Amino acid sequence: MAIKGGDLAKLLPKVKGCKDCGYPTCFAFAMKVASGGEDIGKCPHLDPALREQIREMLAPPILPVTLGKGDKALVIGEEEVIYRHEKTFYHQPGIGVLISDKESESDWERKLKSVLEMSFERIGRTLRPNVAALWAESGDGTRFLELVKKASQADPDLPLILMAPLELAFKALEICGKERKPLLYALTKAELDGNLAKLKEAGVPVAVKGSFEELIDMTQKLKGEGIKEVVLDTGTRNIREALKEQILLRRAAIKQEFRPLGYPTIVFPCFMTQDLEEQYLYAGSFVIRYAGIIVLSELVPEYLYGLLTLRMNIYSDPRVPMTVESKLYEINAPQPESPLLVTTNFALTYFAVASEAEATKLPVWLLVQDTEGLCVLAAWSTGKFNGETIGMAIKKMGIEEKVKSKKIVIPGLLARIKGELEDELPGWQVIVGPREASGLSSFLPELMGRR
């Protein structure tokens, strides 16, 4: 937030003993508003013009833009930092495919199917592309409108980019519907002036294209009209220059707090190179360096998987460890006489253990203990994963009712807790497992006498 709670409190009316906002004092209210936890509109005594000024001060340096609707809605922007480690990046870029009206209908179908159906599972998350850019390349308006119809029918919520001259884009809007919030791409300075009122009425996000000076001029005009959902395209199709511009735009918005450039961006690796491998390399650079939407000419699963994984990694919150639910998992349909494995709820640890155990095809129970997302050794060194905590988890979850074998396998890295766990769990056999999850492939068959 661009204003601190103490400074905000000075702007509030301080009506004696009022509490109409639900807070005991103006200061308490100001602190909550400044942290993003409350709406400034809750103070009814604030002058409306000042309220708007405060809203402006509270707005993130890069404004959010939403394309599409429902579960598939794509939110971009709203970023607050230049480097992820300073806090976190909030909204991962949309990754999508370009579909030209010059392509055949079977290509339209194939590409729409790819953007709608291609997905990958990675440490418990589903990764997928999320936007289709429809391009009026042929010059035949009827053909473009057919493409828009096809894409609209393929899925009612898929975020769309309408890449067409403005008049044609307005016609396309009638087909796909304004409520779907497609992005109109891209207004030039010459097109903007006569169309501001129409754009405002449409109420959909708008992309603007031009030099930095032109972008500044256009975003200010759009803002004057109350249009805040804007996406920037510098028009550069050279990777080196385009990356430099992404960095300049981010720094201008965040370091210099220069509001006219405080909007998310769109980039087109598909127009930078014909080579698909290069496109995906460029796309990876744009994931790291700030693009809001990245458009590719084809969705190729073997390249896309890496790109989506990179996006997930860059846009996961570094302050919050990735965790899985702490509970008793069943692997390969375990029976009461099956052994119990135990590990922590750090997502990577869980998936490594679970997938290795699954691969053995042997039935086992897996207790995932809550260690606040810490891995085995870190959790042990902070007292969150030891004989006492494991013993408590087993009793609390009623595991003794299910696991009649009373055999528990602890990670080999924690062989030292064997004795204390035996003290916690009288009658249980505590077995030291392999140091790495990969060792389960030989360890479990041996333990269960399948060799």
The residue assigned the tokens 């598909």 is 270
Residue from 8, 23, 114, 408 touching ligand SF4 (CB under 6 A): that is 23
Q: What amino acid occupies position 120?
A: F
Q: Should residue 21 be labelled a site residue for ligand SF4 when binding is judged by CB under 6 A?
A: yes
Residue from 11, 12, 34, 287 touching ligand SF4 (CB under 6 A): that is 12
Q: Should residue 7 be labelled a site residue for ligand SF4 when binding is judged by CB under 6 A?
A: no
Helices (H), 35-104: 48-58
**Contact code string over 31-70 relative to ligand SF4, x by CB under 6 A:** ------------x-x-------------------------
The CA distance from 342 to 368, in Å, is 6
Q: Should residue 13 be labelled a site residue for ligand SF4 when binding is judged by CB under 6 A?
A: yes
Q: Is 45 or 327 the residue whose CB approaches ligand SF4 more closely?
A: 45
Q: Is 20 or 47 the residue whose CB approaches ligand SF4 more closely?
A: 20
Kindly indicate which of the ranges 6-14, 123-131, 248-256, 298-306 contains the residues binding ligand SF4, using the contact rule CB under 6 A.
6-14
Q: How, if at all, do strands 65-67 and 74-76 pair?
A: antiparallel
The pair phi, psi for residue 79, each rounded to 5°, is -85, 155
Report which of 342, 329, 326, 345 is spatially closest to residue 402, judged by C-alpha positions: 329
CB of 14 to ligand SF4, least distance (A): 6
For residue 439, give both structure tokens: 């060792």
Q: Should residue 18 be labelled a site residue for ligand SF4 when binding is judged by CB under 6 A?
A: yes
* Cα four-point dihedral sign 229, 234, 235, 239: negative
Q: Is 42 or 102 the residue whose CB approaches ligand SF4 more closely?
A: 42
Report which of 258, 257, 213 is spatially closest to residue 234, judged by C-alpha positions: 213
CB of 382 to ligand SF4, least distance (A): 41
Q: Is 46 or 176 the residue whose CB approaches ligand SF4 more closely?
A: 46
Tell how far CA 203 is from the center of its chain. 25
> What's the CA angle centered on 324, arms 321 and 328, to 5 degrees?
145
The CA distance from 276 to 185, in Å, is 23
Q: Is 19 or 178 the residue whose CB approaches ligand SF4 more closely?
A: 19
Q: Is 13 or 70 the residue whose CB approaches ligand SF4 more closely?
A: 13
Kindly indicate which of the ranges 12-20, 89-97, 392-400, 407-415 contains the residues binding ligand SF4, using the contact rule CB under 6 A.
12-20
The CA distance from 47 to 23, in Å, is 19
Residue from 6, 15, 50, 330 touching ligand SF4 (CB under 6 A): that is 15
CB 131 within 8 A of CB 207: no
Q: Should residue 19 be labelled a site residue for ligand SF4 when binding is judged by CB under 6 A?
A: yes
Kindly indicate which of the ranges 16-24, 271-279, 337-345, 353-361 contains the residues binding ligand SF4, using the contact rule CB under 6 A.
16-24
Q: If you write DSSP's letter for every residue of 124-169 in order, what string do you get? A: TEEE---EEEEE--SS-HHHHHHHHHHHHHH-SS--EEEES-HHHH
Kindly indicate which of the ranges 8-16, 87-95, 197-205, 371-379 contains the residues binding ligand SF4, using the contact rule CB under 6 A.
8-16
Kindly indicate which of the ranges 17-25, 259-267, 289-297, 432-440 contains the residues binding ligand SF4, using the contact rule CB under 6 A.
17-25
Kindly indicate which of the ranges 23-31, 68-76, 100-108, 434-442 contains the residues binding ligand SF4, using the contact rule CB under 6 A.
23-31
Q: Is 18 or 359 the residue whose CB approaches ligand SF4 more closely?
A: 18
Residue from 8, 11, 26, 231 touching ligand SF4 (CB under 6 A): that is 26
For residue 248, give both structure tokens: 């300049």
Q: Is 28 or 59 the residue whose CB approaches ligand SF4 more closely?
A: 28
Q: How many residues bind ligand SF4 (CB under 6 A)?
A: 13
Helices (H), 203-275: 212-224, 239-254
Q: Is 8 or 186 the residue whose CB approaches ligand SF4 more closely?
A: 8
Q: Is 23 or 263 the residue whose CB approaches ligand SF4 more closely?
A: 23
Q: How, if at all, do strands 160-163 and 206-209 pair?
A: unpaired
Rg of the Cα atoms in the chain: 27
Residue from 4, 6, 10, 20 touching ligand SF4 (CB under 6 A): that is 20
Question: CA 398, 401, 402, 406: dihedral to nearest 10 degrees?
Answer: 100
Report which of 364, 366, 375 is spatially closest to residue 342, judged by C-alpha positions: 366
CB of 22 to ligand SF4, least distance (A): 8
CB of 31 to ligand SF4, least distance (A): 11
Q: Is 31 or 62 the residue whose CB approaches ligand SF4 more closely?
A: 31
Kindly indicate which of the ranges 22-30, 148-156, 194-202, 319-327 contains the residues binding ligand SF4, using the contact rule CB under 6 A.
22-30
CA atoms within 13 A on the CB side of 435: 2
Q: If you write DSSP's letter for every residue of 185-213 in order, what string do you get? A: EEE-HHHHGGGHHHHHHHTS-EEEES-HH
The pair phi, psi for residue 405, each rounded to 5°, is -65, -30
Q: Is 34 or 414 the residue whose CB approaches ligand SF4 more closely?
A: 34
Residues lying near ligand SF4 in the complex (CB under 6 A): 12-15, 18-21, 23, 26, 29, 43, 45
